[in-house]
Amino acid sequence: MTTIYDTSKFNRRIKIYEYVGGSDGAGGRLDDWKTKEGYSLIFSRWANVIPISGKYLYETKMAQEKITHDIVVRFHKKIMDVSSKKLVIEYLGARYDVDYRIDVDNQHKFIKMRCIAKHGGR
């Protein structure tokens, strides 16, 4: 039986970014996803990208949550060192904001990130 932590399912290439902002010189913050201004690439990883099922998606909407995908990668300390609210994932040109992440079973083997698919800006 395969699970979401089965590494043979890690067949999607993702890019993980940290939102770092920075001044735009006019008193504002850099935040342009299309050009990646204000974002720093942490690294690319192989991942398991799992759309949330219809039943679970319905339940999360009832609870006012917006989670649309789970994205699972092998553990890496850099991901845990960045605030989850600053993590952004790019997969097939689409943007996914990380709502929170979990070190699965606190074993430092896998990280599951609960993500919100975004359309447009931050």
Tell me if 38 is assigned to some domain.
Answer: yes
Distance from C-alpha of 83 to C-alpha of 12, rounded to nearest angstrom: 23
Tell me if 67 is assigned to some domain.
Answer: yes
Looking at residue 94, which CATH number applies to its domain? 2.40.10.270
Tell me if 53 is assigned to some domain.
Answer: yes
Tell me if 1 is assigned to some domain.
Answer: no
In the chain, pLDDT over 90 holds for what percent of residues?
A: 58
Kindly report, residue by residue over 42-57, the tens digit of the pLDDT.
Answer: 999 999 999 987 655 5
Domain around 96: 7-118
Tell me if 52 is assigned to some domain.
Answer: yes
Tell me if 79 is assigned to some domain.
Answer: yes
**Total domains in the fold of the chain:** 1
Distance from C-alpha of 27 to C-alpha of 31, rounded to nearest angstrom: 13
3-state secondary structure of 23: strand
pTM: 0.82
At residue 96, what is the residue type? Y
3-state secondary structure of 46: strand
Tell me if 2 is assigned to some domain.
Answer: no
Kindly report, residue by residue over 92-108, the tens digit of the pLDDT.
Answer: 999 999 999 999 999 99
At residue 11, what is the residue type? N
Helix spans in the chain (H): 54-62, 77-81
